[in-house]
């Protein structure tokens, strides 16, 4: 027996195929993935004789991999031999064999199951773990006979089309975001790039009208690729098209095309009639698409499609009904003909085509399928985002059509009249660069200064000679343009900006000087609105709350201090900004419904050396703004409460000021002028240095020296010297920047212990790494009960996380404590407020449970009224079944809650990380949990079990500090 299938996975574990005898007595075949490696188990007899074969090849998440399994049971072998052989991705086969003392009677297998086994089916107890497969299975063959998975299946559940969306190929470049639906896909480019793949510098100011595609033809000029019915330099002129003229693939990589609505009732029968006229007898015969409809955008075998094209002088008509491609190739075209006539059609599997006066040709498609299942638009002449490699195999013509296509007619029944495609009849939904046959748009265009008119269908532009640019070649090349002679002197990495009397250089972080030629160390950042200064930092989630603290000195009345938004665009969606407006500080934020504005009572002054402290933020939709201790609060009201931001955090300005939401700033957005230091966002410091920022431009140092606000730690005094600076350290501190405690300079903490100074005692203590204890961490320990002292934590990584079904999470443990508050356990990454988590702890002596399955929807659950303090052991079990939460305390059900009856989020994606007692020596519980829990645990934890595991977690195998043995005391 031989079984072949091709798979592509989105998970590393799961059942691919299972079959066995109907009574699950001893014969079975189980093919599955284990940590990405194909594994097969074969039950050879009614005893426990089982063969296992594993291919040492991990299946990629991004590629289809063929797997072949062959097996022979003792009933098929005169010698009583049992054989199992498997290969994957054409690697060397793995073979396992076993002789049994006697032959067996004929074995009868039951149904073959793909992807999982229904609950009511009895499986062999030794067949291994049956776990639902996530991914694609195709090209299924049994004994060299192909089985059509959907058409020939007897049953199934929750099966979808296996086609991979185009965006999974990550086609967009330069940070572009790919967006797709069932019909189309496109790249949403950042401000600096454009093109269908964001591969070229953008049109910074789009001059094109009427929905035309703006495309940079050079570093100076743009071209407007005109939509259907428009022509001209800016696509502002109307054109009446009766005989569409297609220009193939232009020099920018786009094809001219028309797109009509999907042709209804095309599945079983269709006939097409059309005429075409070639633009020339050379390039237009190479590999050119005439029309296409199908399951586009995948680049896979087996996708239904219908296509007609030209290839090397022959007309090529192909269709695929899902079980193989049928193709008719015409005789060589008679190029003396001015107009060519084509008629083609299909009924069930049988297709035909007649070209000019050639004989009619016919073909029958392979396989058993008879219906053409296509729902996409009907494309003529080209493709909206024409990348042939992503079209179904067999339909990928490389270029668009060059010439005229007209009189297209179609019918989907023998007794029906022929009609033009489209709704209304003959009218396309969309198009690009389609002109009128035998008419040239260049006859209306006059290019100046020796420029040459270039046309591509209805698209037209001027190609300018050296020294000239602009739509009609009437502008001279700028001093900052690469073509200018002599070239500008801005150093590489800087940006040249033209001025009326020359140019200036915008310097990247860490450089300064006229041409950005000097290195610069930034200690306290200095910004200038005249130079459009800014710095950027990687953002993190601030959806539910944000607290910002920064210090500044102002030298002008207006400017952006801090900005972040949902999109870097005038229509940004949500945003939050702190700015100086006419010497007053403003906080503005918009959560999607309205803009909230808070402004300080007092203004600031430009007095030299005066530093102001801002504290600003919001919790939900309630905001506050504090300047030097004077607070303004905006009370919460009904409305949206989440701030969705995706841009970087910008300080001192924004990389493109024209992309700031106009509602975020009262006046015209400009960069701040002055100095900024110590920026904290939710307790995380944004390091305003040339190495700490993600990006920036034209940022200097506030006093021009390496001394800054936080250069010397622990109140050290910064002093300038010829070689740079040095720190004059206070008592009990030492090191280059006073970062090292004198008490820890000769610490004797052993085995990875961390020295913690205790100035009050003129000494230090050692925080011992897990597995060690003692005054100097000199004693090796082991335990089953973990004892936490308040400055302790354990971090356990669940090695089975990738195998878990995260819709059904369970944890149980015993604990005891003599404090009324403390974190017991936190399942989750604990990185930002949007991370999923399941947590339990004590609050005022009561058990408190928190669960977040998505969008920070976490509701405190306090299931009982009795205090759990003190020094008594309690047993807790928390079970999550999708959105249902059950909590057992001392084996009594104390809580049964449905967090979300709508089932919007059902899985706990906790990342395999489990914290016990705390989060780290320098990570306070109340800060990490945003006040959900107040302090670290002082107490003991033991007998921790995750999910339905048969073994308890060995807490001593985790990582952590200051956790000791609680086995005896």
Rounded-to-integer distance, Cα 681 and Cα 618, Å: 12
Which two three-digit tokens encode residue 719?
A: 């002093």
pLDDT band at 99 (very low <50, low <70, confident <90, very high): confident
User: For residue 14, what pLDDT is reported?
Assistant: 87
* pLDDT, tens digit (0-9, with 9 covering 90-100), for 407-433: 999 999 999 999 999 888 888 988 999
User: For residue 192, what pLDDT is reported?
Assistant: 59
- What SS3 state is found at 186? strand
Nearest residue to 836 (alpha-carbon basis) of 907, 934, 909, 773: 909
Please check the confidence at residue 900 and state whether its pLDDT lies above 60: yes
CA distances from 722 to 525, 705, 719, 726, 939 (A): 22, 11, 10, 10, 55
* pLDDT, tens digit (0-9, with 9 covering 90-100), for 8-29: 887 778 899 999 876 656 788 9
- Which is more confidently placed, 545 or 375? 545
- CA torsion 200-204-206-212 (nearest 10°) is 20
- Which is more confidently placed, 249 or 405? 405
User: For residue 182, what pLDDT is reported?
Assistant: 42
pLDDT band at 761 (very low <50, low <70, confident <90, very high): low
CA distances from 735 to 84, 211, 372 (A): 67, 63, 76
Please check the confidence at residue 164 and state whether its pLDDT lies above 60: no
User: Whole-structure pTM over 0.75, yes or no?
Assistant: no
Rounded-to-integer distance, Cα 645 and Cα 647, Å: 6
Determine how β-strand 502-506 pairs with β-strand 674-681.
unpaired
Please check the confidence at residue 712 and state whether its pLDDT lies above 80: yes
- What SS3 state is found at 168? helix
Helix/strand/coil percent split, the chain, to 5: 5, 45, 55
Rounded-to-integer distance, Cα 671 and Cα 372, Å: 59
User: For residue 126, what pLDDT is reported?
Assistant: 78
Rounded-to-integer distance, Cα 234 and Cα 451, Å: 17
User: What is the secondary structure of 908-929 as a DSSP string?
Assistant: ---TTEEEES-S-TT--HHHHT
User: For residue 183, what pLDDT is reported?
Assistant: 43
* pLDDT, tens digit (0-9, with 9 covering 90-100), for 198-245: 766 657 667 788 888 888 776 667 888 888 989 988 888 888 889 999
User: For residue 299, what pLDDT is reported?
Assistant: 47
Rounded-to-integer distance, Cα 754 and Cα 769, Å: 8
User: For residue 855, what pLDDT is reported?
Assistant: 65
**At 701, phi and psi to the nearest 5?**
-105, 140
Burial of 278 (0-12, 13-18, 19+ CB in 10 A): buried
Please check the confidence at residue 297 and state whether its pLDDT lies above 60: no
Please check the confidence at residue 623 and state whether its pLDDT lies above 50: yes
Question: Which residue in the block uniquely carries the two structure tokens 């931001």?
Answer: 645
Please check the confidence at residue 388 and state whether its pLDDT lies above 60: no
**At 637, phi and psi to the nearest 5?**
-135, 175
- Which is more confidently placed, 527 or 158? 527
Q: Which of 111-115, 341-345, 680-684, 789-793 has the highest mean pLDDT?
A: 341-345
- What SS3 state is found at 74? helix
Percent of the chain whose predicted confidence (pLDDT) is above 90: 36
User: For residue 809, what pLDDT is reported?
Assistant: 93
| 86-95, 865-874, 950-959: segment of lowest average pLDDT | 865-874
> What stretch of H or E contains 203?
none
Nearest residue to 912 (alpha-carbon basis) of 826, 793, 848: 826
Determine how β-strand 287-294 pairs with β-strand 399-400.
parallel
Q: Which residues are CB-neighbours of 117 under 8 A, at least 6 positions away?
A: 15, 18, 123, 130
Rounded-to-integer distance, Cα 451 and Cα 445, Å: 11
User: For residue 218, what pLDDT is reported?
Assistant: 67
Rounded-to-integer distance, Cα 796 and Cα 786, Å: 13
Q: Which residues are CB-neighbours of 812 under 8 A, at least 6 positions away?
A: 875, 876, 877, 878, 888, 943, 944, 945
* pLDDT, tens digit (0-9, with 9 covering 90-100), for 568-592: 999 889 999 999 999 999 999 999 8
Please check the confidence at residue 932 and state whether its pLDDT lies above 50: yes
Write the DSSP symbol of residue 302.
T
Please check the confidence at residue 598 and state whether its pLDDT lies above 90: yes
Please check the confidence at residue 143 and state whether its pLDDT lies above 90: no
Rounded-to-integer distance, Cα 691 and Cα 965, Å: 43
Question: Which residue in the block uniquely carries the two structure tokens 């020099």?
Answer: 251
Rounded to an integer, the average pLDDT of 719-728 is 84
Rounded-to-integer distance, Cα 756 and Cα 754, Å: 6
User: For residue 184, what pLDDT is reported?
Assistant: 54
Determine how β-strand 237-238 pairs with β-strand 892-898.
unpaired
**At 743, phi and psi to the nearest 5?**
-70, -25
Write the DSSP symbol of residue 400.
E
CA distances from 835 to 472, 644, 806, 851, 857 (A): 55, 14, 14, 11, 10
Count of H-run helices and E-run strands, the chain = 1, 76
Question: Which residue in the block uniquely carries the two structure tokens 């800054």?
Answer: 708
pLDDT band at 103 (very low <50, low <70, confident <90, very high): low
Rounded-to-integer distance, Cα 30 and Cα 49, Å: 14
Determine how β-strand 50-54 pairs with β-strand 65-72.
unpaired
Q: What mean pLDDT, rounded, does the chain reach?
A: 85
Q: Which residues are CB-neighbours of 720 under 8 A, at least 6 positions away?
A: 705, 706, 707
User: For residue 11, what pLDDT is reported?
Assistant: 75
């Amino acid at each position: 027996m031989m079984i072949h299938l091709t798979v592509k996975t989105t998970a590393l574990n799961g059942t691919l195929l299972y079959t066995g005898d109907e009574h699950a007595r001893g014969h079975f075949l189980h093919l599955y993935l284990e940590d990405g490696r194909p594994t097969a188990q074969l039950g050879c007899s009614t005893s426990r004789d089982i063969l296992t074969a594993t291919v040492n090849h991990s299946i990629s998440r991004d590629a289809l991999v063929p797997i072949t399994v062959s097996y022979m049971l003792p009933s098929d072998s005169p010698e009583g031999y049992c054989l199992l052989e498997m290969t994957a991705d054409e690697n060397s086969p793995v073979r396992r064999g076993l002789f049994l003392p006697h032959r067996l009677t004929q074995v009868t297998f039951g149904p073959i199951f793909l992807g999982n086994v229904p609950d009511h089916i009895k499986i062999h107890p030794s067949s291994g773990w049956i776990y639902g497969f996530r991914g694609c299975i195709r090209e299924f063959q049994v004994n060299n006979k192909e089985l059509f998975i959907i058409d020939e299946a007897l049953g199934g559940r929750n099966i979808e089309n296996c086609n991979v969306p185009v965006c999974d190929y990550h086609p967009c470049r330069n940070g572009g975001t790919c967006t797709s639906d069932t019909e189309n896909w496109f790249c949403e480019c950042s401000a600096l790039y454009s093109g269908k793949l964001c591969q070229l510098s953008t049109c910074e100011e789009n001059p094109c009208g009427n929905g035309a595609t703006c495309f940079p033809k050079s570093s100076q000029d743009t071209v407007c690729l005109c939509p259907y019915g428009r022509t001209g330099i800016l696509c502002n002129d109307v054109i009446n098209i009766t005989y569409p003229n297609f220009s193939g693939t232009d020099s920018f990589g786009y094809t001219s095309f028309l797109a009509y609505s999907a042709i209804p009732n095309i599945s079983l029968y269709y006939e097409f009639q059309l005429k075409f006229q070639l633009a020339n007898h050379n390039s237009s015969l190479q590999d050119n698409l005439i029309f296409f409809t199908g399951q586009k955008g995948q680049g896979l075998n087996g996708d239904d499609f219908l296509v007609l094209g030209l290839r090397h002088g022959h007309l090529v008509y192909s269709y695929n009904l899902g079980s193989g491609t049928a193709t008719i190739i015409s005789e060589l075209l008679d190029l003396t003909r001015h107009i060519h006539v084509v008629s083609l059609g299909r009924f069930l599997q049988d297709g035909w085509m007649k070209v000019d006066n050639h004989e009619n040709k016919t073909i029958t498609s392979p396989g058993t399928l008879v219906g053409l299942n296509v729902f996409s638009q009907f494309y003529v002449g080209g493709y909206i985002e024409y990348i042939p490699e992503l079209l179904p195999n067999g339909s990928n013509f490389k270029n668009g059509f060059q010439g005229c296509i007209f009189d297209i007619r179609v019918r989907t029944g023998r007794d029906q009249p022929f009609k033009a495609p489209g709704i209304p009849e003959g009218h396309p939904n969309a198009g690009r660069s389609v002109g009128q046959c035998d008419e040239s748009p260049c006859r209306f265009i006059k290019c100046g200064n020796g420029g040459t008119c270039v046309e591509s269908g209805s698209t037209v532009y001027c190609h300018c000679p050296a020294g000239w640019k602009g739509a009609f070649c009437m502008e001279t090349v700028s001093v900052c343009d690469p073509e200018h002679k002599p070239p500008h002197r801005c150093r590489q990495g800087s940006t040249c900006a033209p001025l009326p009397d020359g140019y200036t250089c915008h310097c990247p972080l860490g450089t300064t000087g006229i041409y950005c030629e000097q290195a610069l160390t930034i200690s306290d950042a200095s910004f200038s609105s005249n130079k459009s200064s800014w710095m950027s930092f990687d953002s993190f989630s601030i959806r539910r709350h944000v607290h910002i603290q920064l210090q500044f000195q102002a030298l002008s009345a207006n400017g952006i201090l801090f900005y972040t938004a949902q999109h870097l665009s005038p229509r940004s969606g949500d945003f939050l900004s702190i700015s100086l407006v006419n010497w007053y500080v403003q906080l503005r934020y918009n959560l999607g419904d309205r803009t909230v504005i808070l402004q300080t009572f007092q203004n600031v002054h430009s007095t030299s050396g005066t530093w102001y402290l801002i504290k600003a933020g919001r919790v939900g939709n309630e905001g506050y703004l504090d300047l030097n201790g004077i607070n303004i609060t905006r009370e919460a009201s009904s409305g949206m409460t989440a701030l969705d931001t995706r841009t970087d955090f910008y300080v001192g300005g924004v990389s493109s000021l024209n992309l700031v939401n106009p509602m975020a700033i009262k006046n015209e957005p400009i960069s701040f002028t002055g100095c900024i230091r110590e920026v904290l966002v939710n307790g995380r410091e944004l390091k305003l240095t040339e190495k700490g920022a993600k990006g920036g431009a034209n940022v200097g140092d506030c006093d021009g020296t390496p001394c800054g606000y936080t250069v010397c730690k622990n109140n050290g005094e910064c002093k300038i010297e010829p070689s740079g600076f040095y720190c004059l350290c206070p008592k009990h501190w030492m090191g280059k920047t006073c970062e090292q405690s004198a008490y820890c300079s000769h610490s004797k903490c052993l085995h990875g212990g961390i020295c913690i100074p205790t100035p009050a005692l003129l000494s230090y203590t050692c925080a011992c790494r897990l597995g060690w204890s003692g005054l100097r961490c000199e004693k090796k320990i082991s335990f089953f009960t973990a004892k936490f002292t308040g400055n302790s934590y354990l971090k356990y990584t669940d090695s089975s996380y990738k195998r878990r079904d995260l819709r059904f999470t369970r944890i149980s443990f015993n604990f005891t404590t003599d404090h009324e508050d403390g974190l017991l356990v936190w399942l989750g990454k604990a990185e930002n407020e949007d991370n999923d988590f399941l947590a339990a702890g004590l609050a005022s002596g009561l058990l408190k449970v928190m669960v977040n399955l998505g969008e920070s929807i976490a509701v405190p659950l306090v299931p009982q009224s009795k205090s759990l303090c003190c020094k008594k052991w309690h047993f807790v079990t928390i079970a999550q079944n999708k959105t249902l939460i059950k909590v057992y305390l001392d084996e009594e059900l104390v809580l049964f809650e449905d967090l979300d009856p709508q089932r919007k989020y059902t899985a706990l994606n906790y990342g395999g990380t489990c914290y016990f007692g705390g989060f780290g020596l320098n990570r306070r519980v109340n800060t990490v949990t945003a006040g959900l829990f107040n302090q670290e645990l002082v107490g003991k934890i033991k007998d921790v079990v995750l999910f339905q595991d048969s073994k308890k977690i060995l807490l001593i195998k985790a990582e952590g500090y200051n956790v000791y043995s609680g086995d005896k005391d």
